[in-house]
């Protein structure tokens, strides 16, 4: 059974922007729940739209089991994991949200993420602890649900979570609706509640009714009994960040070791609210007449810096640069002090030439931070 495009558009009216994006790129359905393949996920974070209109292919239990049997263990992970799995994998909606969190976090945040899951403090995460993620993100979504046809919203929840849900919240909600929170903030805040016993009990209830996924088998083995240590968790997160960056870089490099400064600007300005990108590109062409190219290491180091943007912002405020423009030396020093990332002189010069609209070799701090926050979150602030 496949779902028609009209069915998809109908439920889209009741979905949040993130839910809509997941439903647009997902290509598989099992027992009413939608899943992305690893290929779908890569497309969703590197492309504006799916390359072709998706129809959800219904998986049989046998097909799902075969996919999971071929899932490699976490110690065999690499920065080509998602590309190697390609269509042979299933990723749920809550796992999609978790993977998006990973893409925008600094390496220092990986330990925080691991500790949030490690509720008993034994330096290992088990499957039950990880499944609390399902409940935390589901509860956040319930607060954001659009009012309307209850039957439609129930159908949407079934598609996204694989089971019908009640609206009785198990999370403390005091004052929570007053401040919009990111999924990362929600995860950090919710898992810090005193042992969140209600959530843990709920995780027990749903673990028996939910199907295994590629991520669960990758982390906890085919029987779900393995435990995940921090080294493997860190490696998985680092590999995922690297893989997405490699895919974006290779899409412009045409097999070469570098991409042009103009291509770097194109990638940088994607998913931002900048309406007139042509002025930035024209400014850069005039300022860098001779193309030298940006290597993958330079490219990767810049996006590592972006994942540390909050620390950089604090450093700039401490330097009292927040209210004025800054030069290249000041910028380089602040990046290194705040993030530990050393940006090459050529990369810093290229960034300045992109954003230095009045060509005074100074960077408008506020404008740069605003645009980069958009890019960091890939248009989903």
pLDDT at position 178, please? 42
pLDDT band per the 50, 70, 90 thresholds, residue 341: confident
Q: What is the pLDDT of residue 147?
A: 59
What per-residue confidence (pLDDT) applies to 206?
Answer: 56
Q: What is the pLDDT of residues 350-368, one digit of tens each?
A: 988 888 777 778 777 777 8
Q: Residue 327: pLDDT above 60?
A: yes
Task: Tell whether 365 and 288 lie within a shared domain.
Answer: yes
* 53 and 152 co-located in one domain: yes
Say whether both 146 and 272 belong to one domain. no
Helix pair 309-318, 365-376: axis angle to 10 deg: 160
Residue 251 counted as domain residue: no
Q: Would 191 be classed as within a structural domain?
A: yes
Cβ-defined contacts of 142-151 (< 8 Å, 24+): 142/167, 142/169, 143/173, 143/176, 143/177, 144/16, 145/14, 145/16, 146/13, 146/14, 146/15, 146/16, 148/13, 148/14, 149/14
Contact by Cβ (8 Å): 187, 140: no
Shared-domain flag, residues 297 and 183: no
Q: Indicate whether 183 and 306 sit together in one domain.
A: no
In a domain, 381, yes or no: no
- Which of these ranges, 85-89, 169-173, 256-260, 354-358, has the smallest mean pLDDT? 169-173
Does pLDDT of 321 surpass 70? no
Domain that holds residue 233: 5-241
Residue among 85, 6, 4, 83 at smallest CA distance from 45: 83
State yes or no: pLDDT of 119 exceeds 80. no
pLDDT of residue 313: 82
Tell me, what's the pLDDT at 198? 54
Q: Is the pLDDT of residue 168 over 60?
A: no
209 lies in the same domain as 102: yes
Say whether pLDDT at 185 is over 80.
Answer: no
What is the pLDDT, as a whole number, of residue 205? 59
pLDDT of 65 reads: 94
Given pLDDT bands bounded at 50, 70 and 90, which one contains residue 166? Answer: very low
* Spatial separation of the C-alpha atoms in residues 231 and 242, rounded to whole Å: 16
Higher pLDDT, 96 or 324: 96
Whether the per-residue pLDDT at 315 is higher than 90: the answer is no
Per-residue pLDDT reduced to its tens digit, 77-90: 999 999 999 999 99
Domain stop point among 217, 241, 265: 241
């Amino acid at each position: 059974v496949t779902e028609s495009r009209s069915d998809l558009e109908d439920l889209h009216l009741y979905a949040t922007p993130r839910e809509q994006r997941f439903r647009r790129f997902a290509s598989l359905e099992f027992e009413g729940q939608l899943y992305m393949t690893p290929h779908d996920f890569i497309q969703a974070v590197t492309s504006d739209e799916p390359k072709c209109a998706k129809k959800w292919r219904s998986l049989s239990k046998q097909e799902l089991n075969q996919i999971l049997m071929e899932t490699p263990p976490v110690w065999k992970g690499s920065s080509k994991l998602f590309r190697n799995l390609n269509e042979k994998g299933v990723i749920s909606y809550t796992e999609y949200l978790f993977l998006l969190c990973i893409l925008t976090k600094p390496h220092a945040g990986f330990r925080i993420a691991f500790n949030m899951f490690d509720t008993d403090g034994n330096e290992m995460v088990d499957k039950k602890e990880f499944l609390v993620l399902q409940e935390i993100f589901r509860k956040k979504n319930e607060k954001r649900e659009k009012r309307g046809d209850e039957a439609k919203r129930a159908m949407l929840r079934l598609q996204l979570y694989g089971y019908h849900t009640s609206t009785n919240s198990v999370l403390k909600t005091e004052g929570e609706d007053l401040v919009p929170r990111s999924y990362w903030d929600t995860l950090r805040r919710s898992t810090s509640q005193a042992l969140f016993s209600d959530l843990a009990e709920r995780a027990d209830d749903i673990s028996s009714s939910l199907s295994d996924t590629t991520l669960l088998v990758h982390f906890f083995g085919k029987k779900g009994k393995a435990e995940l240590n921090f080294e493997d968790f860190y490696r998985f997160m680092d590999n995922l960040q690297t893989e997405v960056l490699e895919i974006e870089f290779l899409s412009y490099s045409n097999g070469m070791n570098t991409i042009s400064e103009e291509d770097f600007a194109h990638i940088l300005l994607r998913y931002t609210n900048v309406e007139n990108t042509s002025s930035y590109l024209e400014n850069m062409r005039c300022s860098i007449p001779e193309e030298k190219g940006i290597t993958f290491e330079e490219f990767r180091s810049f996006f590592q810096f972006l994942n540390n943007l909050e620390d950089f912002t604090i450093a700039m405020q401490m330097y009292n640069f927040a209210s004025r423009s800054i030069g290249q030396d000041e910028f380089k020093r602040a990046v290194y002090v705040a993030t530990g990332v050393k940006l090459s002189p050529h990369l810093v010069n290229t960034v300045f030439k992109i954003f230095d609209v009045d060509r005074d070799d100074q960077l408008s701090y506020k404008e740069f931070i605003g645009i980069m926050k958009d890019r960091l979150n890939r248009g989903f602030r």
